[in-house]
């Protein structure tokens, strides 16, 4: 499981207990910002003069993700703005952080800069919550104006704007790049604020609120009076209190830049604008800023620099993560990320929403679980079945991450890296509107924990849905060092995992296919080479929609040994995309009566898809070939031939020719008797033309001529052509007459 210091996820994910609902996790954990701490509490306090007190404040347990614990990251102490608004400032601040104990000690002098502040010092006591630390991490400073412009036009999951200043559509501010960072000059209201006399009666309540950690800023605002038109210039004594226009910062911190203020003016030590943590408050309101010093220039604009939040809560779309997009398309980066995964076979996953994660990922940044398989109790107990599935869903390693995205705890677009393809029980969560908008891709290394590289029918359906919803899916073969993307063929309910560099070929290809025995390779390799190399030559000048100079070719087999290996080997050697649809025959080979040799995938497959053994029929429906080619085969090949014949009879595919390599005697024994029996019984009445679809050839040259005639529109195939009693056509006879 992730370490406590893992900064890639909220606490609701890292502390999620396997088997619990994410709602429970949200109730137990909160997600503080990693640049700011909780409030420090005063442990020592002494009044040293009428206008000053010395104080020591402590934060006993810094959050493990606080960036101030990182060596070299400077921190500053920020007094609560509700204290500085009363005229109290912190000076001579010394921050001491003990990373080992995760403890911070802050010593300071509290100075009263106004008469009201002198009284307030009496009500600040030991136990008071006085302020927090802010980590000034340089690589979190916003340096690109486009980052801010994007926030101005973006909304969160509830439709609330991410960044607002003022009441108009565009903020009335001046945005500049100064010293390599973005600075916004925020205009302030034309006047100053002071307190009414009734504020004095509130000071004891404020002191109590500080000890209890209760927010009271709204109370003191009630006693602030606006003096329109008053000059916004700080005097040597007292403080200057102004207000900015209505604002909302949801995904950035804002910090006053003292060096850019008018000469002689300084901000009080509450110079930070914190992001709105909750989603509930949709209203914007004016922000109070407090300054002190001795200046002659009027304060009309306040210079603000910006710090980003954690990468997962930045609301950054994938299109703006250039490095992330580059890493997701680079095989070496993908392999390096998976190399950081925990050893063993337990399910584990990680959500990456920033390019830097690819190089910074460690083993303890992965979410690891050990789900226990559930059983189907049947339709007699639907409630129990729902509970079982729900419990199984809660155990999935991806569940907490996906739930965090769904509830806006993770707001940035990203990609999911997971050891195993996600369980179909997560489908509704993944395809929910909130998740599928942010989850741009899924990378996995194995189809299943229990079935290895073989997909279930539910997996296949889920792959199709992910494709429909625009979530890319990639299979990562760590052993070969290769990455494949799941691509669905246009207009077909089927797809395959295709090498990245050949995706467009697969999408646009005309598909040939080779069926045949896994036991017998035969002597067809040379003939198949003649045929396919001839097809490549013909396509240079052919103008047929399925065969022309711009049309790529692909060849599909069952992916096993024997005739299938011959087909894949020839295709690969000619640069034709070599595909295999592979069944897990190995899992049933040991069953009584099973005589199966097709246990090993041949080594010439480039694009592939896999099936569990009980989905043999479904696998056959996924071939979807334009031009099937049959070599010598057994029962499986007979089934495949019958399926291709049925497809043409019922017009799910056009009546393109089917090539049968071999002798008329061999194919006559397989086809003629069945065809003639159907003729006599009248069961193919009106479909006798099916006998024009299969073409028996003895050589690759004959097969090439059959295809040439077809692409030229001369081949007598399909309805409205003479039938025969054999159930198939003999290429040699037709070609002799056609000369």
Instruction: Indicate yes or no: pTM above 0.95.
Output: no
Going by pLDDT thresholds of 50, 70 and 90, the confidence category of residue 517 is: confident
Q: Measured between alpha carbons, how far is 130 from 80 in angstroms, rounded to an integer?
A: 6
**pLDDT, tens digit, for every residue of 41-83?**
999 999 999 999 999 999 999 999 999 999 999 999 999 999 9
**pLDDT, tens digit, for every residue of 96-131?**
999 999 999 999 999 999 999 999 999 999 999 999
- How do the domains of the chain map onto residue ranges? 141-190+232-309, 315-488
Going by pLDDT thresholds of 50, 70 and 90, the confidence category of residue 738 is: confident
- Within 309-381, strands assigned E span 348-352, 367-368
Residues 6+ apart with CB under 8 A from 132: 36, 37, 38, 39, 40, 59, 77, 78
**pLDDT, tens digit, for every residue of 235-268?**
888 899 999 888 888 899 999 999 999 999 999 9
Cβ atoms of 407 and 400 within 8 Å: the answer is no
Per-chain mean pLDDT for the chain: 92
**pLDDT, tens digit, for every residue of 620-654?**
888 999 999 999 888 989 999 999 999 999 999 99
Please give the residue that has the higher pLDDT: either 275 or 415. 415
Q: Measured between alpha carbons, how far is 487 from 315 in angstroms, rounded to an integer?
A: 29
Average pLDDT of the residues in 551-569: 94
Going by pLDDT thresholds of 50, 70 and 90, the confidence category of residue 520 is: low
pLDDT of residue 284: 60
- Min mean pLDDT across 498-502, 590-594, 678-682 is at 590-594
pLDDT of residue 310: 93
Strand 547-548, strand 543-544: pairing: antiparallel
- Look up tokens 């061999």; give the residue: 666
- Tell whether the model's pLDDT for residue 24 goes beyond 60: yes
pLDDT of residue 381: 86
Cβ atoms of 372 and 431 within 8 Å: the answer is no
Query: Which token pair is 165?
Result: 């200043």
Which CATH class for the 315-488 domain?
alpha beta
Secondary structure (3-state) at 142: coil
Q: Measured between alpha carbons, how far is 295 from 728 in angstroms, rounded to an integer?
A: 101
pLDDT of residue 1: 53
Query: Which token pair is 509?
Result: 């290809």
**pLDDT, tens digit, for every residue of 650-692?**
999 999 999 999 999 999 999 999 999 999 999 999 999 999 9
CB atoms within 10 A of CB 133: 24
pLDDT of residue 279: 45
Cα 694-696-702 angle, rounded to 5 deg: 120
pLDDT of residue 7: 83
- Tell whether the model's pLDDT for residue 312 goes beyond 80: yes
CB atoms within 10 A of CB 592: 4
Please give the residue that has the higher pLDDT: either 214 or 376. 214
Residues 6+ apart with CB under 8 A from 83: 120, 124, 130, 131, 210, 270
- Min mean pLDDT across 32-46, 157-171, 272-286, 628-642 is at 272-286
**pLDDT, tens digit, for every residue of 609-622?**
999 988 888 888 88
Going by pLDDT thresholds of 50, 70 and 90, the confidence category of residue 280 is: very low
pLDDT of residue 160: 81
Query: Which token pair is 207?
Result: 């002191």
Q: Measured between alpha carbons, how far is 370 from 368 in angstroms, rounded to an integer?
A: 7
Q: Measured between alpha carbons, how far is 363 from 304 in angstroms, rounded to an integer?
A: 38
Query: Which token pair is 342?
Result: 């925990």
- State which CATH number among 3.90.550, 2.70.40, 3.90.660, 3.40.50 fits the domain covering 141-190+232-309: 2.70.40
pLDDT of residue 3: 59
The backbone torsions φ and ψ at residue 321, rounded to the nearest 5 degrees and listed phi first, read: -95, 80
Going by pLDDT thresholds of 50, 70 and 90, the confidence category of residue 599 is: low
Average pLDDT of the residues in 411-430: 97
- What is the side-by-side strand order in the sheet with 129-135? 75-79, 129-135, 40-49, 52-59, 103-112, 88-98
pLDDT of residue 172: 78
pLDDT of residue 446: 97
Share of the chain above pLDDT 70, in %: 96
């Amino acid at each position: 499981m992730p370490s406590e210091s893992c900064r890639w996820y909220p606490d609701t994910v890292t502390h999620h207990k396997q088997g619990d609902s994410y709602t429970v996790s949200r109730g137990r954990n909160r997600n503080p910002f990693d640049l700011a701490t909780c409030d420090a509490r005063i442990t020592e306090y002494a009044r040293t003069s009428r206008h000053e007190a010395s104080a020591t404040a402590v934060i006993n347990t810094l959050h493990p993700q606080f960036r101030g614990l990182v060596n070299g990251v400077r921190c500053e102490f920020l007094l609560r703005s509700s204290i500085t608004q009363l005229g109290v400032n912190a000076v001579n601040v010394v921050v001491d952080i003990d990373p080992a104990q995760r403890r911070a000690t802050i010593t300071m002098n509290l100075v009263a800069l106004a008469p009201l502040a002198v009284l307030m010092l009496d009500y600040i006591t030991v136990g008071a919550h006085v302020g927090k630390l802010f980590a000034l991490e340089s690589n979190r400073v916003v340096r690109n104006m486009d980052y801010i412009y994007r926030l101005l036009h973006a909304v969160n999951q509830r439709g609330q704007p991410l960044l607002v200043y003022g009441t108009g559509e565009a903020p009335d501010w001046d945005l500049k790049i100064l010293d390599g960072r973005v600075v916004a000059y925020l205009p302030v209201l034309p006047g100053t604020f002071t307190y009414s006399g009734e504020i004095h009666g509130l000071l004891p309540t404020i002191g109590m609120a500080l000890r209890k950690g209760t927010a009271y800023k709204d109370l003191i605002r009630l006693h602030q009076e606006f003096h329109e038109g008053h000059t916004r210039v700080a005097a040597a004594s007292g403080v200057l209190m102004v207000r900015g226009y209505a604002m909302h910062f949801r995904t950035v911190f804002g910090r006053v830049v003292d060096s850019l203020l008018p000469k002689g003016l300084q901000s009080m030590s509450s110079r930070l604008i914190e992001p709105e943590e909750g989603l509930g408050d949709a209203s914007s309101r004016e922000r109070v800023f407090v300054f002190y010093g001795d200046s002659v220039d009027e304060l009309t604009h306040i210079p603000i620099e910006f710090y980003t939040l954690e990468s997962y809560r930045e609301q950054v779309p994938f299109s703006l993560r250039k490095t992330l997009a580059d890493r997701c398309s680079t095989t070496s980066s993908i392999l390096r990320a998976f190399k950081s995964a925990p050893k063993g076979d337990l399910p584990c996953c990680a959500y990456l929403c920033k390019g830097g994660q690819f190089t910074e990922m460690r083993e303890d940044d992965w979410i690891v679980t050990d789900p226990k398989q559930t059983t189907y109790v049947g339709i007699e107990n639907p409630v129990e079945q729902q509970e079982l599935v729900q419990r199984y869903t809660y155990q999935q390693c991806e569940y907490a991450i996906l739930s965090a995205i769904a509830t806006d705890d993770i707001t940035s677009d990203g990609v999911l890296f997971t050891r195993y393809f996600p369980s179909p029980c997560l489908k509704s969560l993944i395809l929910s509107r909130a998740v599928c908008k942010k989850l741009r891709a899924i990378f996995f290394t194995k189809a299943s924990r229990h079935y290895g590289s073989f997909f279930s029918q539910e997996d296949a359906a889920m792959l199709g849905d992910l494709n429909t919803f625009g979530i890319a899916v990639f299979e990562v073969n760590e052993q070969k060092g290769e990455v494949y993307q799941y691509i669905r063929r246009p207009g077909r309910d089927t797809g395959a995992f295709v090498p990245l560099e050949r995706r467009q070929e697969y999408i646009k290809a005309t598909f040939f296919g080779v069926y045949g025995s896994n036991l017998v390779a035969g002597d067809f390799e040379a003939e198949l080479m003649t045929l396919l190399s001839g097809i490549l030559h013909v396509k240079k000048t052919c103008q047929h929609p399925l065969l022309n100079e711009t049309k790529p070719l692909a060849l599909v087999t069952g992916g096993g040994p024997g005739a299938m290996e011959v087909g894949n080997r020839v295709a690969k050697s000619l640069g034709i995309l070599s595909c295999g649809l592979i069944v897990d025959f190995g899992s049933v080979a040991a069953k009584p009566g099973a005589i199966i040799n097709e246990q090993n995938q041949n080594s010439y497959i480039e694009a592939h898809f896999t099936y569990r053994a009980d989905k043999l029929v479904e696998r056959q429906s996924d071939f979807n070939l334009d031009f099937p080619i049959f070599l010598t085969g057994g029962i499986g090949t007979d089934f495949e031939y019958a399926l291709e014949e049925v497809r043409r009879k019922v017009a799910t595919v056009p009546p393109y020719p089917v090539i049968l390599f071999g002798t008329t005697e061999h194919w006559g024994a397989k086809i003629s008797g069945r065809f003639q029996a159907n003729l006599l019984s009248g069961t193919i009445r009106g479909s006798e033309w099916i006998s024009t679809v299969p073409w028996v050839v003895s050589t690759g040259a004959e097969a090439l001529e059959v295809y040439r005639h077809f692409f030229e529109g001369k081949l007598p195939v399909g309805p409205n052509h003479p039938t025969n009693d054999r159930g198939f056509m003999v290429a040699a006879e037709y070609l002799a007459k056609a000369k």
